[in-house]
Amino acid sequence: MADRLAFTKGHGTENDFVLVPDLDGTVGLSPARAAALADRRAGVGGDGVIRVVRTAAADEADVRETADRAEWFMDYRNADGSLAEMCGNGTRVFAEYLRREGLAAGDAVVVATRRGPVEVRSDGDGWAVDLGPWALADPGTADRDGFDALVHVGADDPFSALSVDMGNPHTVVALPEGLDLDDLDLTRVPVVNPVPAHGTNVEVVRPIGPGHIALRVHERGVGETRSCGTGACAAAVATSFWAGALDTGSTWVVDVPGGRLRVRLLPDRGVELAGPAVLVADGMVDLATLPD
């Protein structure tokens, strides 16, 4: 049996991932092993761990059922080892890895995820992917200003927010006037009311100009990260909703601490995320340093 585990390190706007090729599903990836790989001191380090595996070898039956449409499954875990349904930045890095390794040919690849297959296509220097359909948790519960939740960030008074489902859960905070994104304390897990059943990713958004926003994000299962692709899409949806303009075709520049993403609202609640994907290193981890 191999005593070392191969990995590739990659990132999309500095949302960084450890990719573990397990093409035929013979290795697996336990929550404890994913957390150990993601550890920034004792492991490789990353916001998430992505197992690259044939869809036909996925553990989940509903993922395996999509094997006729998507050969490869992005088996995503957060840095704490928990599963996530979707990772927008991860889909681009995953597609870049498949292309580099010759596992997918052409300008587009369909990737299986826990929220269903998504098509990732080459787009300039990076990749673009439709991450929809988005949904507002329950449009009927939003107040007349378009908010349905309160979020405590650090020691500040609670901020008004809107829940947006991107396949994974998001709570988008509109930063009140007079406050600066840089002053937020995102070292602690934001406290959200009503309490989301499965946790949530919290994005704090500031408008910059027409079609241009900036955000900071605290990711479920991770902590503050430098970027979140599904979070950028949720923020564009929420900002459009607050403006009363959920217009198909509207485009957004979304500045995150790790760079810049582009988001486009599409028909039928589609939402396209575009941005870079970079593979930075390949290596081997001694299996003796990892839990099973």
Q: Which amino acid type is present at position 37?
A: L
Among 66, 78, 163, 171, binds ligand LBFN2T5F (CB under 6 A): 78
Q: Binding of ligand LBFN2T5F at residue 93 (CB under 6 A)?
A: no
Query: Using CB under 6 A, which residues numbered 231 to 290 contact ligand LBFN2T5F?
Result: none
Strand segments (E) across 57-195 = 72-78, 108-112, 118-123, 126-130, 135-136, 149-152, 159-165, 169-174, 191-193
Among 5, 20, 29, 87, binds ligand LBFN2T5F (CB under 6 A): 87
Least Cβ distance, residue 201 to ligand LBFN2T5F (angstroms):
5
Q: Binding of ligand LBFN2T5F at residue 222 (CB under 6 A)?
A: yes
193 annotated to a ligand binding site: no
- Residue owning tokens 């050969």: 71
Cβ atoms 30, 59 nearer than 8 A: no
Q: Binding of ligand LBFN2T5F at residue 70 (CB under 6 A)?
A: no
Q: Binding of ligand LBFN2T5F at residue 221 (CB under 6 A)?
A: yes
Q: Binding of ligand LBFN2T5F at residue 113 (CB under 6 A)?
A: no
Distance CA 262, CA 220 (A): 22
- Residue owning tokens 């979020």: 151
- Please work out the total of residues on this chain that contact ligand LBFN2T5F, with binding judged by CB under 6 A: 17
Q: Binding of ligand LBFN2T5F at residue 168 (CB under 6 A)?
A: yes
Please return the burial class of 176, using the count of CB atoms within 10 Å of its CB with bins 0-12, 13-18 and 19+: exposed
DSSP, res 183: G
Least Cβ distance, residue 151 to ligand LBFN2T5F (angstroms):
16
60 annotated to a ligand binding site: no
Q: Decide the pairing of beta strands 72-78 and 108-112.
A: parallel
Among 33, 51, 220, 264, binds ligand LBFN2T5F (CB under 6 A): 220
Q: Binding of ligand LBFN2T5F at residue 192 (CB under 6 A)?
A: no
Distance CA 35, CA 22 (A): 17
Cis peptide preceding 133, ω within 30 of 0:
yes
Q: Which is nearer to ligand LBFN2T5F, 10 or 221 (CB)?
A: 221
Gyration radius of the chain's alpha carbons: 18
Stretch binding ligand LBFN2T5F (CB under 6 A), from 2-10, 26-34, 88-96, 277-285: 88-96
For residue 18, how many other CB atoms are within 10 A of its CB? 28
Residue 18's contacts (CB-CB under 8 Å, 6 or more residues apart) are 7, 8, 9, 37, 38, 43, 44, 45, 46, 48, 49, 50
Q: Which is nearer to ligand LBFN2T5F, 87 or 153 (CB)?
A: 87
Least Cβ distance, residue 92 to ligand LBFN2T5F (angstroms):
9
Among 229, 258, 275, 276, binds ligand LBFN2T5F (CB under 6 A): 229
Helix and strand tally (H, E) in the chain? 4, 19
Q: Binding of ligand LBFN2T5F at residue 21 (CB under 6 A)?
A: no
Write out the catalytic residue numbers: 87, 228
Interacting residues with ligand LBFN2T5F (CB under 6 A): 15, 48, 78, 84, 87-90, 168, 201, 219-222, 228-230
- Provide the annotated binding site for substrate: 15, 78, 88-89, 168, 201, 219-220, 229-230
